[in-house]
Structures are given as C-alpha cells and as structure tokens.
Copies of this chain bind each other. A is one copy, B any other.
Amino acid sequence: MLVYIAGAGAMGCRFGYQISKTNNDVILLDGWEDHINTIKENGLKITGDIEDNVKLPIMKPTEAKDEADLIILFTKAMQLPQMLNDIKGIIGENTKVLCLLNGLGHEDVIKQYISEKNLLMGVTVWTAGLKGPGHAHLQGVGSLNLQSLDPSNLDEVHQIVDMLNAADLNAIYDEDVIPNIWRKACVNGTMNSTCALLDCTIGELFASQDGVDMVHEIIHEFVTVGSAEGVTLNEEEITKYVMDTSVKAAHHYPSMHQDLVQNHRPTEIDFINGAVVKKGKKLGIDTPYCQLITQMIHAKESVLKIK
C-alpha cells in the first residue's frame, strides 16, 4: 500500500514512522522547509519510548506524483483546503482518505475534493511531540477509531484497519465514529481555548471552581448542538470523560496554548468552539460561551498580529 501522510507534524511523524515499520510504503508531505531538509539529510529521529532513526521520503505536497492508496490527513484544520488542493494529483478513483484532524466539520471540506465513498473519518487519542525539525518525541500508547462514510466499501476499509494495526496503531473500525469525534472536540473545546486565554495548565483550570463552571457550560453547548444535528451525545458521559482527561493531563498546556501563547501561531478555534457556534446558528441554537471564547481567541490573535 502507498500511504501518504498529509501533514507531517508530530502526529503525522508518529503515524508515518509506525507505518514505515510495516510492509508498506510511506511518504510524508509537509510545507516546513527545515523539517523537510533535516529528514532528507539525516532521516527522521525518534526519541521517547523508542530511540530510532529512519529514512523516510518527505516532500512538499505539490511535489507528490504517485497515486495514493491511502492518504492520512494530519494538517492543522485551517491548512486543510490548501493541502487538499495541493495533492489533487495523487488522489485516484480508489484513493482512500482518512481524516484524523482535530475539530468538527472537516468532512464538509473534504467532500469538495474527494468522493464520499473514499472518505474515512477518524479520531485518535495517540499523542506526540516535535522537539525540532526532523525530531519526533513519542511517548505513551493510544488508539484510533475510524469509520467509512460509505458502508459499501468495508472490505477495503478493513484492509486499512489491518494495516494500521500491523503498525501497532490500535485501530478500531467504529460503526458510529462521529460521536467520538464530537467527544474529542468537546475535550478540546473545554480546555484548549480556555487554557490558552488564561495562560495556564489543564490542572490549573480545573483547580478553579469558576473554571469547572465554565467547562460545564461549554459541554452543554456542544451536546445541545451535536444532539440537534442528530449526533448521539451523552452529556453525563462526556462530562466524566472531560473530567478524567483533566486529571490525566493536569500538567499539560494544551495544543492551542502552544500555538497561541508559546508560538504566536493562529489557532484551530474556528473548528472547535467556533464550529459549534456556526452549527448552532444554522440550527437556531444560542451558544454564547462558545461564541465569546471564539471571539476572545480571535481578538487575542489580532492583538498578537497573527490573524
């Protein structure tokens, strides 16, 4: 199988690295010059639970030519349309596309570029970090759930699941992945934006009763809008999942904190809280918490002149 990783950040490197250890071909696609050059010259360096160095082909998205069997999308949310546009040439009639981006609403974007029968939606709890160009730091274990939006191609999709499991990625075919995607988006929507605005760790947010009160209101908006869209969401179960995550990840700064506060990069807010606002508006549902949080993040991007 020829697998492209479209977006070779930390998570893309993890998936690319692990798949490269199987009997499949992997090509990383990314736009970061230093990252590309370092991996071309020295290979991809892996530290953490494993120490390794692998030769992996990496190129800019526009340079990819060979038709893909599978493309795993791992860009930042706002880079997705550009990526899909850049890789048109490798998308064949049977190329499967697995979307593992954070956030909500990506299927609507992807469907503009590929046929629904080839689209797999997924969500993963694997984590990874980049220590610098060409250097991924991998710790802990995770899993991923995925589902084909078109159930007629299950044989092909199960081959992909098998391939991902051969790469020890703990893939599960999920008959109803959308609620899991919402659940993860809800975790991000409660912690990422708030910790970025408050410049604090997840543990510090949840140590404050006011922080916890905010979290409950945000979860309620996600569940109300998701349910109105027909997604089966259990507010109590999601609340417990958010609370459990907050304990496990207490010492971490979420990715949006890394983007906004640490690196002054634009955030994915429009695909997390902002997506709930947008969907809520269509459905006639007020989402003032998600709306104010989205506005504050954008206002902060404006203050930092990164918007």
Spell out A's residues near B (CB within 8 Å): 194, 197-200, 204-205, 207-211, 213-214, 217, 288-289, 292-296, 298-300, 302-303, 307
Interface centre among A210, A294, A302 (most CB of B within 10 A): A210
List residues of chain B with CB within 8 A of the CB of A198. Answer: 197, 296, 299-300, 303
> B298 touching A210 by the CB < 8 A rule?
yes
> A292 touching B288 by the CB < 8 A rule?
yes
With A211-B295, A217-B292 known, 15 other A-B pairs at CB within 8 A are A197-B197, A198-B299, A199-B303, A200-B299, A200-B300, A208-B307, A209-B302, A210-B302, A213-B295, A214-B295, A214-B296, A214-B299, A217-B288, A288-B288, A288-B289
Contact for A299 among B210, B289, B299, CB less than 8 A: B210
Q: Given the complex of chains A and B, what is the CA–CA distance between A303 and B200 in angstroms?
A: 7
> A299 touching B217 by the CB < 8 A rule?
no
Chain B's nearest CB lies how many Å from the CB of A55? 45
Q: Given the complex of chains A and B, what is the CA–CA distance between A207 and B302 in angstroms?
A: 8
Q: Given the complex of chains A and B, what is the CA–CA distance between A205 and B211 in angstroms?
A: 23
> A292 touching B295 by the CB < 8 A rule?
no
7 contacts between A and B (CB under 8 A): A197-B198, A208-B299, A208-B302, A208-B307, A210-B302, A214-B292, A217-B288
Known A-B contacts A214-B292, A288-B292, A292-B292; the reply to A298 vs B197 at CB < 8 A is no
Q: Given the complex of chains A and B, what is the CA–CA distance between A236 and B137 in angstroms?
A: 55
Contact for A303 among B204, B214, B294, B307, CB less than 8 A: B204
Q: Given the complex of chains A and B, what is the CA–CA distance between A176 and B298 in angstroms?
A: 39
Chain B's nearest CB lies how many Å from the CB of A96? 38
Which 8 A-B pairs have CB atoms at the shortest separation, nearest pair first?
A288-B288, A208-B302, A210-B298, A210-B295, A211-B299, A208-B299, A200-B303, A210-B299
Chain B's nearest CB lies how many Å from the CB of A245? 18
Q: Given the complex of chains A and B, what is the CA–CA distance between A298 and B211 in angstroms?
A: 8
Chain B's nearest CB lies how many Å from the CB of A87? 32
Chain B's nearest CB lies how many Å from the CB of A194? 8
Q: Given the complex of chains A and B, what is the CA–CA distance between A292 and B297 in angstroms?
A: 14
Q: Given the complex of chains A and B, what is the CA–CA distance between A134 and B11 in angstroms?
A: 57
> B288 touching A210 by the CB < 8 A rule?
no
Q: Given the complex of chains A and B, what is the CA–CA distance between A211 and B303 in angstroms?
A: 10
Q: Given the complex of chains A and B, what is the CA–CA distance between A292 and B211 in angstroms?
A: 9
Chain B's nearest CB lies how many Å from the CB of A266? 13
Q: Given the complex of chains A and B, what is the CA–CA distance between A35 and B303 in angstroms?
A: 35
Chain B's nearest CB lies how many Å from the CB of A290? 10
Q: Given the complex of chains A and B, what is the CA–CA distance between A131 and B294 in angstroms?
A: 37
Contact for A292 among B289, B298, B307, CB less than 8 A: B289
